[in-house]
Chain A
Amino acid sequence: KNEVGQSPQNLTAQEGEFITINCSYSVGISALHWLQQHPGGGIVSLFMLSSGKKKHGRLIATINIQEKHSSLHITASHPRDSAVYICAVSSPSGGAQKLVFGQGTRLTINP
């Protein structure tokens, strides 16, 4: 079974700071997902990637398949970015039903 680890577990920063959240996994994957979960809210899919880099607004996700590592970056962070960010991976033999999730990184952006 793939082991997915995220760091840091908790992160507090000031508005405007550049944020990096890291995800590492132990076994080769077919895709990696970054998800956002607001307190009391549902989970929103931010990115699904299998190589390289993707960008959406102030969010950037990168993945290094050889290193089994992905990062989620937030530029010009804002208090509304405060949420739990979850990394999840799917194995080559399975689809989304076999997603293995990290424990999440709780991000707090102070004004």
Chain B
Amino acid sequence: GAGVSQTPSNKVTEKGKYVELRCDPISGHTALYWYRQSLGQGPEFLIYFQGTGAADDSGLPNDRFFAVRPEGSVSTLKIQRTERGDSAVYLCASSLKWGAGANVLTFGAGSRLTVL
């Protein structure tokens, strides 16, 4: 697509529920990143995909968080047993891995998660 698309834009859930957040990157971008932004803070790195594989998941806060990108395009961030502290805006970004556009990120509008 023309830009990075994230759905849902807003998600309100109850503590303990399971949540999935979806990211559709720019067509042809092999690198995909998930970040989390809490209120008043800059984004924090969660996980990075190069193609289908998670090249770096060192930012995932604990094993309740998991992300997949089975076909090297759309990615889903999955949060199990949500906690109130998971409330944040989850940002997805994509980039080319090689060439002139490498490492220049294009961000989606984010998915705002609120855990009650």
CB distance B42 to A96 under 8 Å?
no
Option from A44, A86, A98 in Cβ contact (under 8 Å) with B45 = A98
CB distance A48 to B45 under 8 Å?
no
Query: Quick one: given A101-B43, A103-B40, A103-B42, are A96 and B105 in contact (CB under 8 Å)?
Result: yes
User: Please, which residues of chain A bring their CB within 8 A of the CB of B56?
Assistant: 94, 97-98
CB distance B108 to A88 under 8 Å?
no
Residue of B nearest to A86 (CB): B42
User: Please, which residues of chain A bring their CB within 8 A of the CB of B48?
Assistant: 96-97
Q: Which residues of A contact B (CB under 8 A)?
A: 4, 31, 33, 35, 41-45, 48, 86, 88, 90, 94-104
User: Please, which residues of chain B bring their CB within 8 A of the CB of A45?
Assistant: 104-107
Residue of B nearest to A48 (CB): B104
Q: How many residues of B contact A (CB 8 A)?
A: 25
Bound CA–CA A80/B38 (angstroms): 24
CB distance B109 to A96 under 8 Å?
no
Option from B40, B41, B107, B110 in Cβ contact (under 8 Å) with A44 = B107
Bound CA–CA A42/B56 (angstroms): 23
CB distance B45 to A41 under 8 Å?
no
Q: CB of B90 within 8 A of chain A?
A: no
Bound CA–CA A103/B39 (angstroms): 10
CB distance A96 to B41 under 8 Å?
no
CB distance B107 to A99 under 8 Å?
no
Query: Quick one: given A88-B42, A101-B42, are A96 and B31 in contact (CB under 8 Å)?
Result: yes
Q: Could you list 26 A-B pairs, sorted by A, with CB under 8 Å? A: A4-B42, A42-B107, A42-B108, A42-B109, A44-B107, A45-B104, A48-B103, A48-B104, A86-B42, A86-B43, A88-B43, A90-B103, A94-B56, A95-B102, A96-B33, A97-B45, A97-B55, A97-B56, A98-B56, A99-B45, A99-B105, A101-B42, A103-B40, A103-B41, A103-B42, A104-B42
